[in-house]
Amino acid sequence: MADDVLTRSETLVSSRHAGLSGRFDVPGDKSISHRSLILGGMAIGTTRVTGLLEGDDVMATARAMQALGAGISQDEDGSWIVTGVGTAGLVSPEQPLDLGNSGTGVRLLMGVVAGLPITATFCGDESLSRRPMARVTDPLAQMGAAVTSRDGGRLPVTVTGAQTPLAADHVSKVASAQIKSAMLLAGLNARGTSIVREPHASRDHTEAMLRHFGATVRQRLEEDGTHVVELEGEAVLTASDVIVPRDPSSAAFPMVAALITEGSDLLIPGIGMNPLRTGLITTLQEMGGDIEISNERTEGGEYVADLRVRHSQLHGIDVPAERAASMIDEYPILAVAATQAEGTTRMLGVAELRVKETDRIAVVADGIFAAGGTVTYDEDSITVTGGGVAGGMSIDSQHDHRIAMSFLTLGMGSDQPITVTGCTTINTSFPGFAVSMNGCGAALAIAGDS
């Protein structure tokens, strides 16, 4: 009961502690979990998904796929069964699809609907309703979908798919897995080959899973560095079981917590090590972080490994802009690590952070400054000078799970405790975060408890 109360608490206080030790099991990868439900539902046959993240975001995607006609249920052994109906079997939902706080879920599902002769209205919570959707809906409209939305391309959005979707040849100004994935999903029913060009590679879980379900996908790198993905349309997907690795974005929080707290020696097993997701590990190692990678293996078609993380004295570095796509969700927690490092850490090319659950550049920088840290920022960068923070402050997560977990982690290395409000949003990606942290030695408490 106490664990459940901690998990559901709106306000938590994080204090310095003696260090983290033991084994820390992070939940399944959120990106792969979303895609396994979506593509499993679009395939013909039954797909068993093991290790699915059962956070609020993924459950919202599960409910949306059910509303679109797929069968989704949990087996007695804890795995999830997806009964696919093929793309032709998906239907217009009777009610709007409420994706809660899930930007990934809503944008990928817009792609699904855009490629089919069906109509769906998408809505979400207050935070998701502020996030821009035109960067996805505009290219989907070029493929033949009809889109209506609130001013600024914001939710609620109604998408009516094309009777015969047009194959795309889209040049994206940013490397975004969500834009790319939406277009590839819409292109499954198009005649011809859909092409998405990015300035550099974004995470490729959609491409890998499309192949896993039988689609033909090609990737290449052009001489100017442009990353090109091609999908052959009129694809028939066939059910195929999925083993979801543990999420490297979720592993970022115990990893940094162990690095910045004296006496820590923590094992984090089974982490997905897709090269397009490991930018934070590379960066922390360059900063002097003692992160040992072992037991490297392939599970369910994904490269995974165990991480052993020990307390380390970090030093500041310049994080190159071209690394941003491989760690875009990890910059808030990297900024926390940078507060504890010697010297200055410059994070470049991070403008994409401005269109996440919050303007993460501003929220992270303002929070670090309020905690007594030294930080500057502009439209595309954050610079943190280390030396520690005083803490003794409160911050509102603003419905952003990564902000909440980052500042709870900062409290573990600050002189005075840090209070974070809006902590229930953590359940979107990491149910049981506070319980798991405390199980390894952290001191997260409900505000007001003695």
Q: Which residues are catalytic?
A: 329
Distance from C-alpha of 87 to C-alpha of 236, rounded to nearest angstrom = 8
* Residue where the block lists tokens 């303007």: 359
Q: What is the pLDDT of residue 448?
A: 79
Backbone angles phi, psi at 417, to 5 degrees: -60, 155
Q: Which architecture does CATH list for 2-28+245-446?
A: Alpha-beta prism (3.65)
Angle at the Cα of 179 (from 178 to 182), degrees rounded to 5? 80
What is the per-residue pLDDT across 146-203, written as a single tens digit (0 to 9) for each? 999 998 789 999 999 999 999 999 999 988 999 999 999 999 999 999 999 999 899 9
Structure tokens at 147: 């889109």
Distance from C-alpha of 250 to C-alpha of 271, rounded to nearest angstrom = 9
End-to-end CA gap in the chain? 18
Distance from C-alpha of 77 to C-alpha of 22, rounded to nearest angstrom = 26
Is 314 in a helix, a strand, or coil? Answer: coil
Q: What is the pTM of this model?
A: 0.91
Closest CA relative to residue 24, chosen from 309, 300, 249, 263: 309
Q: Rounding to the nearest 10 degrees, give the CA dihedral for residues 273, 277, 283, 286.
A: 30
**Domain definitions of the chain by residue range:** 2-28+245-446, 30-243
Mode of pairing for the β-strands spanning 227-232 and 193-198: antiparallel
Residue 77 burial (C-beta neighbours within 10 Å; 0-12, 13-18, 19+):
exposed
Q: Which architecture does CATH list for 30-243?
A: Alpha-beta prism (3.65)
What is the per-residue pLDDT across 319-353, written as a single tens digit (0 to 9) for each? 999 999 899 999 999 999 999 999 999 999 999 99
Closest CA relative to residue 368, chosen from 354, 355, 387: 387
Q: What is the DSSP string of 196-262?
A: EEESSPPP-HHHHHHHHTT--EEEEE-TTS-EEEEEESS---B---EEPPBPHHHHHHHHHHHHHST
Distance from C-alpha of 253 to C-alpha of 94, rounded to nearest angstrom = 39
Distance from C-alpha of 432 to C-alpha of 222, rounded to nearest angstrom = 43
Distance from C-alpha of 415 to C-alpha of 268, rounded to nearest angstrom = 26
Q: Specify whether the CB–CB gap between 334 and 283 falls below 8 A.
A: yes
Output the tens digit of pLDDT for each of the chain's 450 residues.
367 889 889 999 999 998 999 999 999 999 999 999 999 999 999 999 999 999 999 999 999 999 999 999 999 999 999 999 999 899 999 999 999 999 999 999 999 999 999 999 999 999 899 988 999 999 999 999 999 999 878 999 999 999 999 999 999 998 899 999 999 999 999 999 999 999 989 999 999 999 999 999 999 999 898 999 999 999 999 999 999 999 999 999 999 999 999 999 999 999 999 999 999 999 999 999 999 999 999 876 789 999 999 999 999 999 999 999 899 999 999 999 999 999 999 999 999 999 888 899 999 999 999 999 999 999 999 999 999 999 999 999 999 999 999 999 999 999 999 999 999 999 999 999 999 999 999 999 999 774
